[in-house]
Amino acid sequence: MTAISIVVIAKNEEEIIEGCLQSVSWADEIIVVIDDKTTDNTAKIAKKYTDKVFKRKYDRAPNQKQFALDRAKNEWVFVLDADERVTPKLRKEIIRNLKSKKYVAYHTYFQTVFLGKVFDASTIRFQGTQRLFKRSKCRFIPNTAHEKMAIDGQIGVLKNEVLHFTSRSISQTIAKNNFYTSLEANELNKAGIRTNLLVVFLAPLNIFLRIYFGEKKYRNGVYGFVYTLLQANYCFIKHLKMWELQLVEKK
């Protein structure tokens, strides 16, 4: 077994978590943190792969992940969401880089799988985050809608991508986006960031153009078009919720 700790967070993911855990069964430690409001068999399935399954009240994704990180035994950690998979090529690359003395973390990219469609590889390298890192050198910044890390040292880049099953259905995507736009709108509003109706309408247009043309999602046909529309809609709803919060403050 490879000396690395895998961290996975989940909520009501019985349909997909087994594929996630199977893809990292080569690691000598897997830690799963489950939202305490989970009502399905996620925990039961996770216990087939590890005895380190914890239930915790959800209060932001980075807080869940740091909770798991604090319970890891290994120096190197790889973080996954339940809708992600480590490919065989990525596994080999991860294992090679565990010997690194130069880098304390590695930037990881994602290959999108949207409604069963694996996106064109040329559209991948535009977004990513640090998923492989040394526990002693990296911590999640608490209470952020989308996780950010404090990293003490140099960051490398992994060549192979995590498979990210971003959407099982349009309904599931809209429900997830509604949840995260509320978190992000509140976070930005508390930080004093203002919006207005012009931004509400122009920011989503900018997102659409950047993703569809800049990130070449048009190469994925109708799937790329629908994916981009949903990303632009996320931006629209986020700014609309910020605008609503500002209206309430003025009353």
pLDDT tens sequence across 78-90? 999 999 999 999 9
β-sheet bridge partners, residue 165: 113
- Shared domain check, 195 and 152: no
Residue 69: CATH number of its domain: 3.90.550.10
Strand, helix or coil for residue 95: helix
Residues 51 and 129 in one domain: yes
Do 113 and 152 fall within a single domain? yes
Whether residue 128 sits in one domain with residue 8: yes
Side-chain-facing half-sphere of 238: CA atoms under 13 Å: 24
41 alpha-carbon distance from chain centroid: 22
Same domain, 149 and 38: yes
Going by DSSP bridges, is the β-strand pair 138-140/149-151 parallel, antiparallel, or unpaired?
A: antiparallel
Q: Domain check: are 173 and 162 in the same one?
A: no
Confidence of residue 125 (pLDDT cuts 50, 70, 90): low
Apex 246 CA angle, 245 and 248, nearest 5 = 65
- Provide the percentage of residues in the chain whose pLDDT is more than 90: 85
Residues 112, 191: one domain?
no
Q: Evaluate whether 97 touches 103 at the Cβ level (below 8 Å).
A: yes
Q: Is the model's pLDDT at 132 over the cut of 80?
A: yes
> Distance between CA atoms of 176 and 171, rounded to whole angstroms?
9
Last residue of a domain, one of 114, 142, 166: 166
